[in-house]
Structure 1
Amino acid sequence: MQISRLFKIIYILLEKKSITASELAEHFEVSVRTIYRDIDTLSQSGIPIYASQGKGGGISLLDNFVLNKSLLSEKEQDKILFALQSLSAVQYPELDDVLSKLNSLFKKSNIAWIEVDFSNWGKDKKQKEIFSLLKDAILEHLIITFSYFNVSGEKSQRKVEPFKLIFRDKAWYLQGYCLQKMALRTFKINRMSDIYITEESCMHQSLQEFMNKSTDEACAKQVKLTLKISSEGAYRVYDDFEEENIIRNKDGSYTVIVSMPDGEWIYNYLFSFGAMLEVIEPESVRNEISMRLDHMVNKYHSKT
């Protein structure tokens, strides 16, 4: 994360006065070339940073430079701290240390304005390691391989260009381009195992680049649904759908017209409403729901 590294460089220089590019490169585990790019970025941003040659030389800040007065206003300081706290809330690695240092430099107490508890990441060390591994692969644009269980419990080996991590409906997902399926796919992270970062670079450097280069067929297929949800399901209606997609009926029920990515997951989602929901359209989804319900009923009848 370049912004984090830039602030750390400033903090180190404020403490040590002078340091070589090689020492900084070793500290951050990046190349000397990357450090010089960071120095250029800081210089162009108005930071009085300079490099001196020869014995005893190195990278330094002007003696009268003070971060909290010379660089940022009070409002800008707060915006930076609040933004970093937002990332820290989702367990972004190493940010607690950065926040502590910046609070000290800005002479501010830690304002804990946000707290998010994603138990899997916060309490399970293995899950946190997976999160960090996927983050590294995304930022470095490297292809990953992993084992994956689909909704039917079938295990397969996947090779994927990772684009981004998504938190949706109480679970984490990885969105990426599956090289086996030759299509954009979303993987539930707790079904992934044996994740390995290869040395192969991604063909597409970002999701936006992939979308620009891809045909419509490569993108997730959408299905347009018309749903009727009883008045007892009002709490789900406004939790799950945008207001412009909701119609309130005279009998207190709701009609929801919405497009969703097609796939097996959609039936599990619709069943989560129980008896509160009826699929009106399309007919294919309605028939599939009916068939699955008959199959479930037959399981119980066969034992009586």
Structure 2
Amino acid sequence: MQINRLLEIVYILFEKKIVTAKKLSEHFEVSQRTIYRDVDVLSAAGIPIYANKGKGGGISLLENFVIKKSILSEKEQIDILSSLQGMKALNVPDAELVLKKLAAMFDKNYTEWIDVDFSPWGSNSDEKEKFNLLKTAIINKNPVEFDYYSSYGEKTKRIIEPLQLMFKGRAWYVYGFCTVKNDYRMFRVTRIKNLALLKEKFARDIPQDIWEISHEATNKMIKLVMKIEASMAYRVYDEFGQEAITKNADGSFTVTANLLEDEWVYGYVLSFGDYGEVLEPEYIRKIIKGKLERNLKNYL
């Protein structure tokens, strides 16, 4: 990619002071004409780079040139390096190479302050590979094929053009265009099985207002209000935002959350056992009560 070559040219000159076009062309396996075009591009971008032909000549930067003084402010340097750290954590190709070079040219320490693992605690290698495949498909614009299990356990075969990985409501989703439904859809990653990357390419881009477009994400939203006992404080503060929590006089909590109504929500409520109680909506109370009654029959 040209951007990586341009950056590396500046980095080489920053380290070696002067290099011939011939040496650079051999290093990058391109023609000397391409190198001179790159010099013109860098010069037009405001980098004081010069090419002196003849004996003893070569390509060099203005003496004592420092990128931070001529182009970027201190805040802009930090913002760029922070963004690249995030890209490196996501295993974006060449991000680490670019990060190291820019850190050297900005005269900044290269500190690995962030790491990202999309898979939940206790996941096996298959679950981690699922995220890697989805990331590759999104970056390279490859469709993916998989078996998908709905919240009711129904299995369908799907082919989608994946556009974005999204974290919403304490769960990971992949958003994309489903060729089976001929519409945009959101798929919960944990319900995806037998994921496979397809060789063909797609050209579709991410539309605006993703959450409004996705029917599955907008048509079943509920405002859930629960009372949770004080002994569950660790879960309350881990799983709900501060603005959603009210601490009651007896030490218990009242929490409010907007969630998608499906079997996951019912299971989530039940995971609090007798330490949690649904206050609203009333029909969700009845659903939970019915599930508890049916569950009790299994132990009679």
Q: TM-score when scaled to structure 2?
A: 0.70
User: Is the alpha carbon distance of 1:131 and 1:282 closer, same or farther for their aligned partners in structure 2, counting shifts above 3 Å?
Assistant: same
SS at the partner of 2:82?
helix
1:10 alignment partner in structure 2: 7
Gaps of 5+ in 2: 13-18, 52-57
Q: Is the 8 A contact 2:171 2:188 kept in 1?
A: no
Is 2:257 aligned against 1:289? no
Cα RMSD after superposing both structures: 4.1
Listed one character per residue, the Cα deviations across residues 31-54 of structure 1 (whole Å, up to 9, x for unaligned) are x9xxx99x97x6775345799xxx
State the Cα distance separating 1:232 from its structure 2 match.
1.8
User: Is the alpha carbon distance of 1:218 and 1:102 closer, same or farther for their aligned partners in structure 2, counting shifts above 3 Å?
Assistant: closer
C-alpha separation in 1, matches of 2:250 and 2:109: 54
Is 2:290 aligned against 1:298? no
Q: Which amino acid aligns with 2:109?
A: S
Q: Which shows bigger deviation, 65-74 or 284-293?
A: 65-74
User: Is the alpha carbon distance of 1:119 and 1:289 closer, same or farther for their aligned partners in structure 2, counting shifts above 3 Å?
Assistant: closer
C-alpha separation in 2, matches of 1:66 and 1:234: 52
1:191 alignment partner in structure 2: 192
Q: Is the 8 A contact 2:142 2:198 kept in 1?
A: yes
Gaps of 5+ in 1: 26-31, 52-59
SS at the partner of 1:300?
coil
Q: Which shows bigger deviation, 236-245 or 220-229?
A: 236-245
Q: Which amino acid aligns with 2:6?
A: I
User: Is the alpha carbon distance of 1:125 and 1:254 closer, same or farther for their aligned partners in structure 2, counting shifts above 3 Å?
Assistant: closer
User: Is the alpha carbon distance of 1:50 and 1:187 closer, same or farther for their aligned partners in structure 2, counting shifts above 3 Å?
Assistant: farther
Q: TM-score when scaled to structure 1?
A: 0.69
2:202 alignment partner in structure 1: 201
User: Is the alpha carbon distance of 1:132 and 1:67 closer, same or farther for their aligned partners in structure 2, counting shifts above 3 Å?
Assistant: farther
SS at the partner of 2:105?
helix
Q: Which shows bigger deviation, 112-121 or 94-103?
A: 112-121
Within 5 Å, which residues of 2 pair with 1:160-179?
160-167=160-167, 172-179=172-179
Is 2:252 aligned against 1:253? yes
Listed one character per residue, the Cα deviations across residues 237-268 of structure 1 (whole Å, up to 9, x for unaligned) are 23222333333323222222322122222122
Listed one character per residue, the Cα deviations across residues 158-205 of structure 1 (whole Å, up to 9, x for unaligned) are 1223231135688643233434344532321573323223535365x2
Q: Is the 8 A contact 1:13 1:61 kept in 2?
A: no
2:88 alignment partner in structure 1: 88
Listed one character per residue, the Cα deviations across residues 135-172 of structure 1 (whole Å, up to 9, x for unaligned) are 34324555432223445555431122323113568864
State the Cα distance separating 1:278 from its structure 2 match.
0.7
User: Is the alpha carbon distance of 1:120 and 1:230 closer, same or farther for their aligned partners in structure 2, counting shifts above 3 Å?
Assistant: closer
C-alpha separation in 1, matches of 2:109 and 2:29: 28
Listed one character per residue, the Cα deviations across residues 96-139 of structure 1 (whole Å, up to 9, x for unaligned) are 33322223333333223345566779x97766654343234324
Within 5 Å, which residues of 2 pair with 1:70-149?
70-115=70-115, 130-149=130-149
C-alpha separation in 2, matches of 1:184 and 1:238: 31
C-alpha separation in 1, matches of 2:20 and 2:265: 58
Aligned length: 274
Higher alpha-carbon Rg: 2
SS at the partner of 2:108?
coil
Listed one character per residue, the Cα deviations across residues 205-260 of structure 1 (whole Å, up to 9, x for unaligned) are 21426567x48687452112121111222222232223333333232222223221
SS at the partner of 1:173?
strand
- Give % identity: 37
1:229 alignment partner in structure 2: 228
C-alpha separation in 1, matches of 2:178 and 2:219: 12
